[in-house]
Structure 1
């Protein structure tokens, strides 16, 4: 089992394919296996790196509660371990980790593509009453999820999160059983995110100053807060372009894998060829 010991933690990773290196970072609850629907297609053009964030599945947890900045530091160290700069991709909380790296270590990145980072702190001053109500609902639901995890009801916590925060009603039953099992097993790691006061925020000034080409995407079937975050980010980051997945939600790489790969590669073609990492 390939691991890289960085920042005192053994991180599991896999590499498939040849070409420019692209590193995929998963979101909350899940792990590298969530990228399985797109890896084979990507590997026809890229060297694809998937990894389990610290405390998730096959990667070890640190000695202290994990944080957004620790995850970004792990991603930076993994890229340096394997060789960079690279294309980086993140989904959901993995998109926050990716954007944190864009702000902190742009030297490691050729391009960045993120789907629906839950950077809800960007919406706290919104004048839209609907956004205010939606934020309050998210905070209530996240508190419920945390209580369920703390009482040991990991399945109930995962289901509540999927149904009320990430995908919407009916989302849990639409997920494959194996994927639901991964979410349930990784439930304790979500408490680290809940307890991290910076988890859903970003260094806006550093991100606004980046020169890294950035793709921001959201789905038409996602909860309303996600496109609102994308809109705020598009105003913040001059290098950003946006795209929308019609008929998709929070996990387009699983529901629309071929379209997801096509849009990512088109973005890379537009941004220009990346530098092949040194071996």
Structure 2
């Protein structure tokens, strides 16, 4: 059932900028976390969950409506975890269930290490932890190639290389619409921040596995059932092996919560109630 609960939006000042967040629904708190993705693509899932959860979504630093005073500073998982901790503390309804997607899953892992008191359960959905893979040296070089292509001004070429590296897919006509020709200045700013200050620090993050094993936070690792043999399938399973956690399958691919929000919400409820 989709909630018709009103959405309350707000901003929170942090030492180096301002963070934007949205809250809807009532019940136990669940935070939907992306990086670099902002809160917008989570909206269908958030509306579905708001019938029985208080749902928090937010724009990560440097993206959407979250503004940094210094856009030359790198966005690290630790900084984003601190941002999320500040928002959760500000809302005051925790501890939260955290569903982190992609880079947001890495944010969630960093939060489970730094502030486990704020996150009761973490569902880390397809965290792109390349340093856990045997071919990490090759992947570092490929990541740098993506950034180098972007720095030539070829945003379309960069996203093609990024998708080739990760196994993600988007129809060419959609790629052309989103990354070719005249683009929205805010989208360009977001891309600049991602490629120059976030891609390496996120995919190259090396978590303390001992700290993750010791955290009182319950950690689940999610993988899309259409992600088999892709980059984030490999990284998620590698993390599962390190933590002795059997991954949990969710509908769809890397962005299953966008592709199939109804099925994803149903599966998420099943996982949380089991």
Measured against the shorter chain, the TM-score band is 0.7 to 0.9
* Residue 212 of structure 2 is aligned to residue 201 of structure 1: no
Q: TM-score, normalised by structure 1?
A: 0.81
In 1, distance between residues paired with 2:172 and 2:54? 32
Q: CA deviation at 1:96?
A: 0.5
Q: CA deviation at 1:228?
A: 2.4
The runs of 5 or more residues in structure 2 that have no matched partner are: 1-8
Q: CA deviation at 1:214?
A: 1.8
Q: How does 1:7-86 map to 2 (within 5 A)?
A: 7-28=15-36, 30-63=37-70, 64-83=73-92, 84-86=94-96
Moved more, 193-202 or 174-183: 174-183
In 1, distance between residues paired with 2:263 and 2:202? 35
- Is the CA contact (8 Å cut-off) linking 2:129 and 2:203 kept in structure 1? no
Determine which of 96, 114, 121 is the counterpart of 1:111: 121
* Residue 7 of structure 2 is aligned to residue 4 of structure 1: no
* Residue 90 of structure 2 is aligned to residue 89 of structure 1: no
- Is the CA contact (8 Å cut-off) linking 1:114 and 1:215 kept in structure 2? yes
Q: CA deviation at 1:220?
A: 4.0
- Is the CA contact (8 Å cut-off) linking 1:67 and 1:199 kept in structure 2? no
Q: Could you give the per-residue CA deviations for residues 58-82 of structure 1, whole angstroms, max 9, x where no partner exists?
A: 1012533222211111111111111
Secondary structure of 1:2's match?
A: strand
Say how many residue pairs are matched. Answer: 257
Q: CA deviation at 1:42?
A: 0.7
Aligned-pair Cα RMSD in Å:
2.7
Q: CA deviation at 1:114?
A: 1.4
The runs of 5 or more residues in structure 1 that have no matched partner are: 127-131, 271-279
Q: Could you give the per-residue CA deviations for residues 227-271 of structure 1, whole angstroms, max 9, x where no partner exists?
A: 222222223335x4521246x22111011212211121122212x
Q: CA deviation at 1:89?
A: 1.0
In 1, distance between residues paired with 2:19 and 2:27? 23
